[in-house]
Structure 1
Amino acid sequence: MTLSGIHAAAAPKAVGHYPHARRMGDLLFLSGIGPRDPADNSIPGNDYFADGRVRRYDIEAQARAVLANVRAVLDASGARWEDLIDVTVYLTDMARDFKAYNAVWAEHFPDPASAPCRTTVGISALPTPIAIELKCIARIED
């Protein structure tokens, strides 16, 4: 089996030197994906102080954006939204953001029985000023 790296033109550029996804057989492993806007690299819902620090952010805007970015990588990889099988969610403020994120998740996956498995982890920081990142695994049928 060969591994094939995938770069999605409709998704934000990777923050580091890695592909958006890598396919191994019928499994697709997505690199961590954040909510940055693919067009201009801005972060939806962020409001900044003059010195560049984040004053406040909108987790719902970031959650919708990160899910759209996941969809863009799935599309570029030949997978569908329904092919997601496992998602790890990283939140920088679990106490503040879990409930709102969970509501956005439910908009995108209204039937829990057909939603991908999900683990949500609270972390102290991400490499850019984002509040959420997703790590996903999908299955691709040939």
Structure 2
Amino acid sequence: MSANGQSFLLDPEKPAGLTRYSHARVVAPSTHHTIYISGIAAVTPEGTYEGVKENADGSFTIDVREQTAAVLRRIDSIIKGASNGKADLHNIVDSTVYILDMKTQYADMNEEWNKIWSDRVSAPSRATIGVKELPDPRFAVEIKATAIYKVER
């Protein structure tokens, strides 16, 4: 069993295809702590926006891959901090990804996601939702997650 519980796949013999996520994660609740991570976007504590290029005319260009990687790094830091270093991204059991444009941004977000989770057996369950807007116009991606880690006895 991996750090985030046991994977459940409806069709474990079929190829993974383009995306890597489990259909469900099974966790024994009495043996783990749970961390619920709020929706995280690509803004640093100092207020800088990762994956955003400011243009001379005041507009900006968003790099979805860079934003996704930045969000995942922030979530990794949150999990490590909340667990006193006992957990990381691989302890995520469930996640929700919000993106602005499924047609133009999904593939780039998914490529960054797949750099972290190399197969469906280790990947968390995931929903990806296209939304009209996020809290700041410089955000293209926001991710909410739940992680678990083993209780030491």
Give the 3-state SS of the residue equivalent to 1:107 in structure 2: helix
TM-score by length of 1: 0.75
Provide the residue aligned with 1:104 in structure 2: 112
Partner of 2:68: 63
In the superposition, the TM-score normalised over structure 2's length comes to 0.70
8 Å CA contact retained: 2:42, 2:51:
no
Cross-structure match for 1:124 = 132
Find the counterpart in structure 2 of residue 4 from structure 1: none
Q: Does the CA-based 8 Å contact 2:42-2:71 persist in structure 1?
A: yes
Check conservation: 2:102, 2:130, Cα contact below 8 A. yes
1:37/1:65 contact within 8 Å kept: no
Contact 2:50–2:70 at 8 Å: present in 1 too? yes
Shift of 1:49: 4.2
**Structure 1: segments with no counterpart, 5+ residues:** 1-24
2:94 corresponds to:
86
Worse overlay, 44-53 or 105-114 = 44-53
Distance 2:99 2:59 in 1: 18
Higher RCO, 1 or 2 (CA under 8 Å, sep at least 6)?
2
Which stretches in structure 2 are left out of the alignment for 5+ residues? 1-31
Q: In structure 1, the residue corresponding to 2:150 is in which secondary structure? A: coil
> Which residue of 2 is the match for residue 43 of structure 1?
49
Give the secondary-structure state (helix, strand or coil) at the position aligned to 1:130.
coil
Calculate percent identity across the aligned residue pairs: 30
What is the CA–CA distance in structure 1 between the aligned matches of 2:59 and 2:77, rounded to whole Å? 29
> Could you tell me how far apart the structure 2 residues matched to 1:113 and 1:99 are?
20
Query: Offset of 1:72 from its aligned partner?
Result: 0.6
Residue in 2 aligned with 1:15? Answer: none
